[in-house]
Structure 1
Amino acid sequence: MRVIDLFAGAGGLSEGFRQEGFDILAHVEMDKSACNTLRTREAYYYLKEQNEIDKYKDYLLGNISREELYNNIPLEILNKVIEKEINNKTIPQIFNELDVLVGTEEVDLIIGGPPCQAYSTAGISRDPNRMKNDPRNYFYRYYVRFLRKYQPKMFVFENVRGILSAQEGKVFKNIKRNMSNAGYKVDYRILNASNFGVSQLRERVIIIGWKKDLPFDYPEFYTDIETPVIKTLFKDLPKIQSGQSLNGLNQYTDENNNEINGIRPFDWNILTQHISRPNNEKDLNIYKLVAEAWEKEGKLLKYNELPDELKTHKNTDTFLDRYKNVKYNTFSHTIVAHISKDGHYYIHPDIEQNRSLTVREAARIQSFPDDFYFEDSRSAAFKQIGNAVPPLMAKEIAKKLKSTELVL
């Protein structure tokens, strides 16, 4: 079951499919930091297969550099990450590189989700032209070119639900027509990640397409996975304060957290990227008030309800939910890429810690396993996490496709 991952980001989709035994031939991604993350993940899987996982652990512990880590990995493995923007100029070269990786065998599946900013509610609300002139509206056309070139039996296309209504529905109508003209039947559902073991209320449109001659219907997703609430998800992570980091061997507070759906792999004992942003005193005072308002009254504190000395501007009529805490006894609200800018919308539920989420906590909410490492800066890591497809959601989609009577 051979897969090409387009617009791969940090690899959330391919991680889930890989966990179900799919063979990821290549990732195509333009962001440099995300590509570094993909290469490091390829290194992890290669070293694990070679029974040399200690080299990967040495890297996480800071005993060797990234360059030294990659020196242990065959070039053909690292070359599976194609670091290029997908556009009309680059597609011929991307095809050439993919042809080498694909070889003479067929591609069974293409997965991926083009950048969604042009369809997002926030993006549209900020743009006076309602994103009508944004070229990202048409990235799906590049996706279709890959379908025409490699003719996979199936594809999985992920995006925000705004893609259904963009330009009064014209964009989605054109997407379906283009995919049909390429030889595929298509269907879609709006799926919520919280139904797939992901501790997050995250709705996404999942389009599945299949060759018109294949006996297939869009699967029904009935999962009996028990999704952990945030308190359970975080219970083995040590408490830290704003600006503090805690990484290294045996830093977990519990021997193992068996209630979090394999997010912390059995016998994994290296905690990475449990790093909290430093916050100024005004922000910390606001964070405390927001967390207390929820804990004591069960209410979300609005910006116009803050004491005057904590307000930083005079706009008290719009965007009043600038500060929001993650709730302990339920699932998180949607993690988005804006978390790379600040943590005001992702305040930790524990008043004693009084801070925003760490990279590792955000990664867990997105269901990335603890052995998954996000490369480069803290901001780059947050951006990768916010843009990702939750691996557990991807895994359940992969499992359903694998279990159908269709022979991939």
Structure 2
Amino acid sequence: MSSTLKFLDLFAGAGGLSEGFIRAGFKPIAHVEADASACFTLKTRQAFHWLKNNNSIDLYSKYLKNEITRNELYSAVPISEIDSVINEFIGPDTLDNIFQKVDEQLGKSQLDLIIGGPPCQAYSLIGRARGNMDDDPRNHLYKYYAEFLKRYKPKYFVFENVLGLLTAKDPSDELYFDKMKSLFIEIGYSIEYRVLSANEYGVMQNRKRIILVGKRGHRSKKSFYPEPEQWLPQANVWDLLNDLPQIIAGGGQTTPVEPITKPSEWLKQAQIYSNLPLTWHEARPHSQQDLEIYKHAVNLWNTEKRRLHYDDLPEHLKSHKGRNSFVDRFKVVAGDLAACHTVVAHISKDGHHYIHPDIEQNRSLTPREAARIQSFPDDYYFENVSGKPARTSAFKQIGNAVPVLLAQKIAEKLLKDW
């Protein structure tokens, strides 16, 4: 399905939400993101879409194979495609400059839709447990989101965030979510929201998120929420892992690799499989102690279908001081389940919570495996500021993203109901 409906992506991250809306037929006008590495990822993806739409995708393939530089890739597409990615933190000092850049990209066109959600750390339960969140400026980023709604008056907006937003309170004990809803209503939008679980829409991950949708104008009796079509494929996590080369901790590569078997039906149906080079199948190294723990965790799951509790370990492997907290810090991504546990940005710190289910490989997930769990297509390349691959940056971008398939399902229904 194609459309001329134009959208702006705020707090865009690596572009998971945007990718889903592009797949559904919406056209991005601009992406605004504070993280410089994620902005390069977005620029590279913009180049991919332009080259694909203009029958020049071979040039993108050359880039993935390191046959041309990033600058050469970007110079092959209109400058407006690269300039549509705006590397700014959204706040009072940058708002006017961002408006100007968006206006330049929009020209005389009407903006139909705004998507995106502020960074979730200030609302997440983990973030609040760490304390000192009351003064976090990210608590108030929704106010600037509202400024974009006031200026561009799109027909719809789609606002995504973590479940912790439902219970996060400001210093006066008022719920941030209530304040958000009141503000959106005040500036002329009717709002509806749902808690959606990604695994109900083809994503092999138990990831729940608040998806709030606003529609310009007064509420009618009929619901306008774009209820996405459910998809529960007959597949399990092995279907996203099995075709990738078998590697050990510290093995693999960021440059292209060849699958060892044909892709599963799920990979094809989810539009993850690609004929273009597959990158980022590189495993992080681990200490011998961690590798021994990983084997305990995988063996326990394989033999008893039971998760490893820290106290289950032999005494010589218990080196962590905090034995009564985060007792499930070592967790297997179980291949025989229909969905694994949530991939989050902490995967950039260590891989202990994302252990590969193959005891012979004995490692944590690669960025490509994590990206597949987030339903990113295999031709999606995760950039770093320097231009040199950085696994930590790739993991962070992947963990912070909205699953592409979930975004696509929402976008398809929104477009159908438009």
TM-score bracket, normalised by the shorter chain, equals: over 0.9
**Structure 2 counterpart of 1:196, from 193, 201, 208:** 201
Measured at CA, do residues 105 and 214 of structure 1 come closer, stay the same or move farther in structure 2, by a change above 3 Å? farther
Asked whether 1:205 is paired with 2:216, we answer: no
Shift of 1:373: 0.5
Shift of 1:29: 0.3
> 1:22 maps to which residue?
26
1:263, 1:364 within 8 Å by CA — same for their partners in 2? no
Length, aligned pairs only:
402
1:1-400 correspondence runs (5 A): 1-127=5-131, 129=132, 131-167=133-169, 170-213=175-218, 217-226=224-233, 228-246=235-253, 251-260=258-267, 261-265=269-273, 268-330=275-337, 331-376=339-384, 377-400=390-413
Shift of 1:71: 1.7
Superposed CA deviations along residues 103-133 of structure 1, whole A, max 9, x for unmatched, are 1121110000100101111111111x4x222
Shift of 1:67: 1.4
Read off the aligned partner of 1:70 and give its amino acid letter.
Answer: Y
Shift of 1:262: 3.4
Shift of 1:247: 5.7
Mapped to 2, the partners of 1:156 and 1:262 lie a distance apart of 22
Mapped to 2, the partners of 1:3 and 1:281 lie a distance apart of 49
Mapped to 2, the partners of 1:225 and 1:211 lie a distance apart of 33
Mapped to 2, the partners of 1:359 and 1:169 lie a distance apart of 39
Structure 2: runs of 5 or more not aligned: 385-389
Structure 1: runs of 5 or more not aligned: none
Shift of 1:363: 0.1
Shift of 1:217: 1.7
Read off the aligned partner of 2:357 and give its amino acid letter.
Answer: P
Mapped to 1, the partners of 2:311 and 2:263 lie a distance apart of 43
1:156, 1:209 within 8 Å by CA — same for their partners in 2? yes
Mapped to 2, the partners of 1:75 and 1:222 lie a distance apart of 37
Secondary structure at 1:328's aligned position in 2? Answer: coil
1:247, 1:270 within 8 Å by CA — same for their partners in 2? no
2:40, 2:383 within 8 Å by CA — same for their partners in 1? yes
Shift of 1:225: 4.5
1:199, 1:227 within 8 Å by CA — same for their partners in 2? no
Mapped to 2, the partners of 1:247 and 1:106 lie a distance apart of 40
Mapped to 2, the partners of 1:204 and 1:247 lie a distance apart of 30
Secondary structure at 1:271's aligned position in 2? Answer: coil
Mapped to 1, the partners of 2:210 and 2:354 lie a distance apart of 24
Superposed CA deviations along residues 130-164 of structure 1, whole A, max 9, x for unmatched, are x2222211111010010001000000000001101
Mapped to 1, the partners of 2:204 and 2:271 lie a distance apart of 11
Mapped to 1, the partners of 2:391 and 2:408 lie a distance apart of 26
**Aligned-pair Cα RMSD in Å:** 1.5
Shift of 1:250: 6.2
Mapped to 1, the partners of 2:226 and 2:79 lie a distance apart of 38
1:367, 1:392 within 8 Å by CA — same for their partners in 2? yes
Shift of 1:246: 4.3
Moved more, 395-404 or 162-171: 162-171
Mapped to 2, the partners of 1:217 and 1:179 lie a distance apart of 16
Shift of 1:221: 3.2
Secondary structure at 1:47's aligned position in 2? Answer: helix
Read off the aligned partner of 2:49 and give its amino acid letter.
Answer: Y
1:279, 1:355 within 8 Å by CA — same for their partners in 2? yes
Shift of 1:269: 4.6
